[in-house]
Chains A and B, each alone.
Chain A
Amino acid sequence: MSGGDAPDQDGEMVAQLQRGEAVGVEALYDKYGRLAYSLAYRILMERTAAEDVVQEAFLAMWRNARTFNAARGNLRNWLLSIVHNRAIDRVRGSTRIRKESQIETMERLIEVPDAWETVSAHLERKQILEGFALLPDAQRRTLELSYFGGYTHMEIAGEMGVPLGTVKGRMRMGLEKMRTFLQARGVTV
């Protein structure tokens, strides 16, 4: 349900949203709502806040559907970018929310679901998790602190006790390794 289907099949949803039809929001939620919530929860680690962010994101998409341009990205990524931005805004606006549990490493995610293997629609995620697993620990932790934790490069340098230049390098190298890994496996990047 949540995000496994090819984003290029979302054309009808886009058309419905752009016509102002609520049924488009329903279809969008049925397809990507769980994924959106999962991302919000991963960042905020708090159920109510994550649901608030997801609700805000869907309302934002409803209000701004006419500005969506499929040539610049797919519907799923647009939704997830809104969820991510709003969740990170909350994290950065409230240090209370930032917990150690939030910066847990990706290994936990990799260990858990071999269910990915049985669902071909989730192959893309499996590749992403594998790509993460293959990153050097320091690069992976740097990306996690930044993307899921909302940390700036300076905050990560302080957190990890390394020079700022090292953090910048780990960010760039980690992303480039991920890109190379995913491209080699046919994941659209």
Chain B
Amino acid sequence: MTTLSCAQAEDLLGANALDALTPQEARDVQEHLRGCVEHRQVAQELAQTVSLLALAVDEREPAPDLRDRILASIQSASSEPVHKPVLGPVVVPIRRAPRLPRWAPRPAVAALAAGVLLALGIGTYAGYRLGQESSRAVAYQFAGSSLAPGARANLVYLRDKHQAVVAVSGLQPLASGQVYEMWLVKKSGQAVDQGVTAASDGRITAQMTADLSQFKQFAITIESGERPAPTTPPVLAGSLTGAGA
């Protein structure tokens, strides 16, 4: 270790900010900075200037799937399943689904959704085919937020039909006048209303018609009547990564 004079350190501060010193020089400068308030200030200012050089780049588009790869790496690195698909998107061949009424908690619809979701469920997603007509489908599982830790949702999206079926369970009973409102959140952050329901039995089965590749998130909030935009934090939310072709 060399003890630098202020004049010697002064000479190295620019290169230090640019991380262009030898390791030994860098250590000597750091040692000097620990005891020199004036040069510590200069070093900080130079480092701040260097950080702005990162903005002086020609903009380029990354590969379209880089976002999905990053989220997949986050998913695999995390043991916390909240706010993202537990399994990630699962692509399987599936029969063409009939159009379902919006927010339709009827047994027939529930049975169809449950059948689809069961078939796409954990460990059983391979090779599912019920008819000759097939399409590409993506399946997601979402967990409730801290506001509804018992809630779970299964969502199946038929890419070529731009239709999705979602089945939610474990929701809490609502106070009088409240409803569960479902949202698709655009990549811009704008939330688009997908309808409301009381979900008196804690379950929702519903259908959405939308190109989910244009949305980044599915969410459910509790509202006092149908709202044009969410006014409360989501009780359940999840990423729609992989909805594109």
Query: A-side interface residues toward B, CB under 8 Å?
Result: 2-3, 20-23, 25-26, 29-30, 33-35, 37-39, 41-42, 47, 50-51, 54-55, 58-59, 62-63, 73, 77, 80-81, 83-84, 88, 106, 108-109, 112-113, 124-125, 128-129, 132, 143, 146-148, 151-154, 156, 165, 167-176, 178-179, 182, 187, 189
Question: Which of B53-61, B91-99, B128-136, B191-199 has 4 or more CB atoms under 8 Å from chain A?
Answer: B53-61
Give the complex CA separation of A156 and B58 in angstroms: 23
Min CB gap A157→B, angstroms = 10
> In the complex where A77-B54, A125-B55, A156-B20 touch, is A171 in contact with B216 (Cβ < 8 A)?
no
B123 at the interface (CB under 8 A from A): no
Give the complex CA separation of A125 and B57 in angstroms: 8
When distances are taken between beta carbons in the complex, the residues of chain B under 8 Å from A3 are 55
Complex contact A62–B77 (CB within 8 A): yes
Complex contact A173–B14 (CB within 8 A): yes
Q: Which of B18, B55, B67, B70 is within 8 Å of A146, CB to CB?
A: B18
Identify the closest chain B residue to A92 (Cβ): B19
> In the complex where A29-B70, A51-B63, A55-B73 touch, is A42 in contact with B11 (Cβ < 8 A)?
no
> In the complex where A55-B69, A168-B15, A172-B14 touch, is A113 in contact with B57 (Cβ < 8 A)?
no
When distances are taken between beta carbons in the complex, the residues of chain B under 8 Å from A170 are 14
B80 at the interface (CB under 8 A from A): yes
Complex contact B14–A175 (CB within 8 A): yes
Complex contact B56–A125 (CB within 8 A): yes
Complex contact B80–A153 (CB within 8 A): no
When distances are taken between beta carbons in the complex, the residues of chain A under 8 Å from B70 are 25, 29, 33, 54-55, 58-59
Complex contact A51–B62 (CB within 8 A): yes
Query: B-side interface residues toward A, CB under 8 Å?
Result: 11-15, 17-22, 45-46, 48-63, 66-67, 69-71, 73-75, 77-78, 80, 82-84, 187, 216-217, 237, 239, 241
- Other than A132-B56, A147-B18, A152-B21, give 12 A-B pairs with Cβ distance below 8 A: A38-B60, A39-B54, A39-B57, A54-B62, A63-B77, A81-B54, A84-B54, A109-B57, A143-B18, A148-B53, A165-B11, A189-B52
27 A-B Cβ contacts within 8 A?
A21-B82, A21-B83, A22-B71, A26-B217, A26-B239, A33-B67, A37-B62, A38-B57, A41-B60, A51-B66, A54-B62, A54-B66, A55-B70, A77-B54, A106-B56, A112-B58, A124-B55, A128-B52, A146-B18, A147-B50, A153-B15, A172-B46, A175-B17, A175-B50, A179-B45, A187-B52, A189-B52
